[in-house]
Amino acid sequence: MAAFKRSGKKEVPEVGTSSDIVFMFLFFFMVTTQMRQNEVKVHVTLPEASEVVKLERKDLASYINIGPPTKAYQQQYGTDARIQLNDSFKTTKDIRDFIAAERESMSEADRSFMQVAIKADQDVKMGTITDVKQELRRCSALKIMYFARKAQ
Amino acid sequence: MSKRKTPSLNTQSTADIAFLLLCYFLMVSTMDQNNGLQRRLPPMPDQNQKAEDQKVNRRNIIVVKINSADRLLAGNAPIDVSQLKDKIKEFLTNPADDPNLPAREDTEIEGFGTYPVSKGVISLQNDRGTSYRAYIAVQNELVKAVNELRDEFGRQHWGKPYVALTEDQQTIVKKAIPQNISEAEPKDVNSK
């Protein structure tokens, strides 16, 4: 079995390229990520739609999440659809303050371009969403976007 | 000169550093897709002002209703979501000049000339029990109908679909084929 005899020193396998690969991953994630702004406390599966457009200015959007609370919060809040603004469960009455606060945080010039993004679970009943819409109309935040997944 | 060996840097730790950064980004990232359907809500009517119904000619309006069982009613006939798009397209184009379908009014469009713009309005009504999924599906079909008409318009006049047109041309198309979708005041569709 002389053919299998190693010649010379023991060799360490070459790993030099692994750092390049990792760097590539790193850049990929750096480019595609956006920081998680707040914890999502409701479970949202977006409905599908084919005619979706991209949200143009993320900084001008305020998010309203609507859906059943996630497992960790079901004990406390039940499984009915709830509204989440920023970091906590709220009711439709709080939307007014939320919109006012969001407006306040924007620069004067951007206020008229403010957009409200409604992220609702696909099984939510329209009653909840209609209430939200009515409240938004009362606060004259009229530009809205129904978030949806892009269907193939 | 004697040949000198280039000194090698110890770069083994860069992989570790990169890994750490990678892990960090993996943790903090969300890859949300920021896609959706854009809508403009009608402003709230003034409370002092009596809510007067907009005088829209009956032929110019198509009512799309979704009930709590997610069934559809378009212009007084039950319909499937898959058929809705064609129905809306027919409604908006009125190819046969049907007196029951919306009138088209010759309108001067800046930079283009006159074009018979349809006066049709789609009124979308839903029940409180309608599921969001069905609502979005219907919204999507309505938008799709308008988008297809815009594409056709673009092809007809410039030989390109809507997205490939210049900004000015897109404004013209938007004026020629407006997206008039009204989300009516909430009411119970079933109680009647």
Minimum Cα–Cα distance from A19: chain B residue = B15
| Complex ipTM > 0.85 | no
CATH second-level architecture of A48-150? 2-Layer Sandwich (3.30)
Helix ranges restricted to H, chain B: 12-28, 81-93, 132-158, 167-176
- Tell me the C-alpha to C-alpha distance, in Å, between residue B84 and each of A152, B78, B117: 19, 10, 21
Of B18, B44, B136, which has the smallest distance from its Cβ to A146's Cβ?
B136
User: A35 and chain B: CB distance < 8 Å anywhere?
Assistant: yes
Residue B52's pLDDT is: 52
Out of A36, A47, A148, whose CB is closest to B30? A36
Which amino acid is residue A20, in one-letter code?
D
Residue B59: which residues within 8 A CB-CB, separation 6 or more? B99, B100, B101, B102, B103
Around Cβ A64, how many Cβ atoms within 10 Å?
23
Q: What token pair was written down for A122?
A: 């696909």
| Residue where the block lists tokens 């109680």 | B191
Single out the residue of B64, B68, B69 nearest to residue B92, CA to CA: B64
**Tens digits of pLDDT across chain B (192 residues):** 567 777 777 777 777 887 888 888 777 776 666 788 888 887 776 665 555 555 667 778 888 888 888 888 888 788 888 888 888 888 888 877 777 788 777 777 777 778 888 888 888 888 888 888 888 888 888 888 888 988 888 888 888 888 888 888 888 888 888 888 887 666 654 543
pLDDT confidence of residue A65: 87
Nearest CA among B112, B113, B81, B116 for reference residue B101: B116
Domain residue limits, chain A: 48-150
- Cα B159 to chain centroid distance, Å, stands at 23
Nearest to B146 by CA among B86, B79, B77: B86
Contact A26 B22 (CB under 8 A): yes
| Alpha helix stretches (DSSP H) within chain A | 18-32, 71-77, 95-105, 126-138
Mean pLDDT in runs of 10 for chain A (152 residues)? 59 70 80 70 84 80 86 82 83 86 84 86 86 85 86 73
The tens digit of pLDDT for each residue in B151-162 reads 888 888 888 888
Q: Quick check: B18 and A47 CB within 8 A?
A: no
pTM of this structure: 0.74
